[in-house]
């Protein structure tokens, strides 16, 4: 019974430990770039690549050039940001989850961009797993304590 109680207590506390770990991880400010990006065209694509290990709130800053700035998922090509630069661009966007992303420029003249990650959070699925684990551990501990009293 002590093992069951210890396991239940561990499962109840595990989400708190995991969320504290995410808090310390997300407090670090990280950057991708700066990188000079040439307009995409028939001669090829110039891009800034970055990898994000979790869902993140990011800010993109670009200077120079006139045109569209796109942030796309490298593997499925899904567009997660589409902005216009007329000499400069500074805008926030949400990176939906873990993956490698490209900043691509379509326009005239060269631009220099960098991406700053303001806050990184666990994805919704991971958060739900944390909460369900905590609830299951708390219920198991409650049942164990109730059985002990009888």
- The pLDDT value given to residue 71: 93
User: Residue 71: which residues within 8 A CB-CB, separation 6 or more?
Assistant: 60, 79, 80, 81, 82, 93, 95, 101, 102, 103, 104, 115
Instruction: Look at the chain and report how many structural domains it folds into.
Output: 1
- The pLDDT value given to residue 43: 67
Q: Which tokens belong to 116? A: 């700053």
**What CATH number is associated with residue 44?**
2.60.120
Below-70 pLDDT ranges, the chain: 1, 22-29, 41-45
- The pLDDT value given to residue 100: 92
pTM: 0.67
- The pLDDT value given to residue 101: 93
- The pLDDT value given to residue 77: 86
Range of the domain at 60: 2-149
Three-class HEC string of 76-112: CCCEEEEEEEEEEEEEEEEECCCEEEEEEEEEECCEE
- The pLDDT value given to residue 26: 65
């Amino acid at each position: 019974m002590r093992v069951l109680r210890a396991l239940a207590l561990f499962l109840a506390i595990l989400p708190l430990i995991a969320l504290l770990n995410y808090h310390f991880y997300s407090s670090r400010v990280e950057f991708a770039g700066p990188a000079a990006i040439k307009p995409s065209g028939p001669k090829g694509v110039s891009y800034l690549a970055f990898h994000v290990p979790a869902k993140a709130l990011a800010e993109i800053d670009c200077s120079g050039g006139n045109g569209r700035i796109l942030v796309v998922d490298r593997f499925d090509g899904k567009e997660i940001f589409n902005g216009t630069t007329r000499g400069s661009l500074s805008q926030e966007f949400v990176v939906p989850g873990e993956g490698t992303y490209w900043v691509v420029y379509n326009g005239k003249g060269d631009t220099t961009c960098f991406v700053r990650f303001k806050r990184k959070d666990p994805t919704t699925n991971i958060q739900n797993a944390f909460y369900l684990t905590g609830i299951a551990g708390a219920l198991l501990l409650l049942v164990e304590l109730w059985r002990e009293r009888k």
